[in-house]
A and B are shown apart, each in its own frame.
Chain A
């Protein structure tokens, strides 16, 4: 049998007190933080132009002209950086039947009644929603962003198309900021999660509580995988 769908390169269990589980490789973490910083810078520079009340944020980027000029370039960085995450994580984010059960019991999720939830692989339906939501929105943002990137691409579209694109861009930006809030909140609420993206590790208890199926797959000796 090959690797289960949700076990990624580098995922491993180390025995001890407590048990430590490797969740993200160093490369994945660097990739994540480049994406995170780009997204935050994009939200700040974009929101500065979105509302006069936030125009003061242009000071962070050295003024209005620079904010306008740099925003789309950060967008390009985000796109490629996120593409890296996408190819690392897409398989583990495929939809499974237990995700439907999890969603139907969303009340128990919010109340923290893990015992009433199905055993889950590396990601739960909420994390998958964040993953696919970000993927789709970044695609919409880069496409609409290119249409309104007048400095280089003015000639390729009509003014009417640019009007639609900037509206779509603003709405997609609102949506991705909301997805980002859900993402960050979940990481804070579910204690022990942030370590996964800083040190790359979580405790065995965390994995047991939230991603038991994944943990079981990791401790099960797999044929073809050399023992450590």
Chain B
């Protein structure tokens, strides 16, 4: 068993990280905090999850969020998608393993992956609305958010949701407020099977190795860790029984990267835009300096008068 989640401190403790530990800030150029704090990670072991949704309930409770009462639509996945209130969601998939013909119930806890290279942050136009701490946590700062939805387009995992109430973007914070005072995220604390554990990224990888060896010894040949390199690795990782086919877990992307369209939009387009607009303006000024104003001459006026003169009263 992994060492259990610590209990809350009884005396106030200083925050472990804050504004001085930022390595990225949306729409801003900052000097990344150095040295970096040790990177943290949450490990979600899908093979251990029993689908009890204690994590989903704990998330609502800790963040004081209230999901609307929905309707049943034939699945345990409830609500049917992430919402501004449901920052995490258990997604249930019934999958028939073609090799064994067994029905496998795949239950994946969906939510923000806390990418090392976050597409949401890259896309965000509002200074400081998305920040990344040196321990790897990607957090939304709602005071700065303008509700444009660019983060939704930037995210390779389809995570952020814009609230209809206050027009701001919401997603899992990794419980940055709890981690700052040495606690595990609320979901990890609530999980009865330790399918969710929390620690440094290195610890989590090591712990995952043990789990993967165990799964392999029990016939899951393709068991593995989901820490996608396309986004620089993530600070929420999965242990998957079938890591060769992440898509079977309710569409978990296989080798996600920030969309090339987003890269072009947020990269080349900005330089190109300023270059051509600047060129057009400079060309105008330059032309005027060289060619001078195009003036109507006295002769033009006379010609016009002559033309109009004869045939009309």
Residues of chain A whose beta carbon lies under 8 Å from any beta carbon of chain B: 13, 15, 17-19, 49-52, 55, 58, 63-65, 67-69, 110-112, 114, 148, 150-151, 154, 159-160, 162-164, 166-167, 170-171, 173-174, 177-178, 181-182, 185, 188-192, 203-209, 215-216, 219-221, 227-228
A-B contacts, 30 listed (Cβ < 8 Å):
A13-B308, A15-B305, A18-B305, A65-B146, A65-B167, A68-B147, A112-B292, A114-B294, A154-B149, A166-B153, A166-B265, A167-B265, A167-B269, A171-B273, A174-B269, A174-B272, A181-B280, A185-B287, A185-B288, A189-B284, A191-B293, A204-B305, A205-B296, A205-B298, A205-B299, A205-B301, A205-B302, A208-B304, A209-B297, A221-B311
A174 touches B293 (CB 8 A): no
Please state if B162 and A150 are interface contacts (CB–CB under 8 Å). yes
Bound together, the chains give a CA A205 to CA B296 distance in angstroms of: 6
Contact A55 B153 (CB under 8 A): no
Residues of B within 8 A of A163 (CB): 153, 259, 261-262, 265
Minimum Cβ distance to chain B for residue A113 (Å): 10
Of chain B, the residue at the smallest CB distance from A178 is B280
**A151 touching B167 by the CB < 8 A rule?**
yes
Known: A166-B150, A181-B284, A205-B300. 11 other contacts (CB 8 A): A15-B312, A64-B144, A112-B294, A163-B262, A174-B273, A177-B277, A181-B281, A182-B284, A189-B291, A203-B296, A208-B304
A204 partner residues in chain B, CB cutoff 8 A? 300-301, 304-305, 307-308
Q: Please tell me if B125 contacts chain A, counting CB pairs below 8 Å.
A: yes
Query: What residue of chain B has the Cβ atom nearest to residue A18's Cβ?
Result: B301
Interface SS of A by simple majority: helix
B270 contacts the other chain (Cβ, under 8 Å)?
yes
Which of A50, A58, A67, A185 is within 8 Å of B284, CB to CB?
A185
Complex: chain B residue closest to A14, CB-CB: B308
Residues of A within 8 A of B152 (CB): 150, 159, 162
Taking the closest CB of chain A, its distance from the CB of B296, in whole angstroms, is 4
Residue with the highest number of chain A CB atoms closer than 10 Å, among B150, B284, B295, B296: B296
- In angstroms, Cα B313 to Cα A68, docked, is 57
A167 partner, pick from B264, B291, B293, B294, beta carbons under 8 A: B264
The complex places the Cα of A178 from the Cα of B298 at a distance, in Å, of: 33
Task: Decide if the interface of chain B is mainly helix, strand, loop or mixed.
Answer: helix
Docked pose: A37 CA to B162 CA in angstroms: 30
A171 partner, pick from B269, B281, B313, beta carbons under 8 A: B269
CB distance from B22 to the nearest CB of A (A): 15
Cβ-based interface call for B255 (8 A): no
> In this assembly, does B148 line the interface, its C-beta being within 8 Å of a C-beta of chain A?
yes
- Residues in B neighbouring A209, C-beta threshold 8 A: 296-297, 300
List of A residues within 8 angstroms of B294 by Cβ: 112, 114, 189-191
In-complex Cβ contact of A219 among B27, B302, B307 (8 A): B307
Query: Mask for B5-39, Cβ within 8 A of A = 1, else 0?
Result: 00000000000000000000001100000000000
By the criterion CB–CB under 8 Å, are B270 and A51 in contact?
Answer: yes
**Which 7 interchain pairs have the tightest Cβ spacing?**
A204-B304, A64-B146, A205-B301, A205-B300, A52-B27, A150-B149, A185-B284
Decide: A189 and B288 in contact? CB cutoff 8 A: yes
Which of chain A's residues has its CB closest to B150's CB?
A166
A114-B295 Cα distance, complex, nearest whole Å: 11
How far does the Cβ of A93 sit from chain B's closest Cβ, in whole Å? Answer: 21
CB contacts (< 8 Å) of A208 on chain B: these are 300-301, 303-304, 307
Among A51, A148, A150, A181, the residue within 8 A (CB) of B274 is A51
Alpha-carbon separation in the docked complex, A107 to B7 (Å) = 80
Contact (A203, B27) CB under 8 Å given A189-B287, A189-B294: no
| Contact indicator A65/B301 (Cβ below 8 Å) | no
Mask of B53-90 contacts with A, CB within 8 angstroms, 1/0: 00000000000000000000000000000000000000
Counting chain A CB atoms within 10 Å of each CB, the highest count among B148, B162, B288, B291 belongs to B148
Closest to A112 in B: B294
| With known contacts A68-B146, A164-B261, A207-B304, A192–B127 Cβ distance under 8 A | no
Q: CB-CB < 8 A to A150: which residues of B?
A: 148-149, 152, 162
What residues on A are CB-neighbors of B148 within 8 Å? 49, 68, 150
Smallest beta-carbon distance A190→chain B, Å: 5
Q: Which residue on chain B has the smallest CB distance to residue A67? A: B146
B1 at the interface (CB under 8 A from A): no
Q: Are B28 and A52 in contact (CB under 8 A)?
A: yes
- The smallest beta-carbon distance between A99 and chain B, in angstroms, is 19
For residue A162, which residue of chain B has the nearest CB?
B153
Q: Given that A15-B312, A178-B277, A178-B280 are known contacts, is A50 also in contact with B300, CB under 8 Å in the complex? A: no
Which of B146, B303, B313 gathers the greatest number of chain A CB atoms within 10 Å? B146
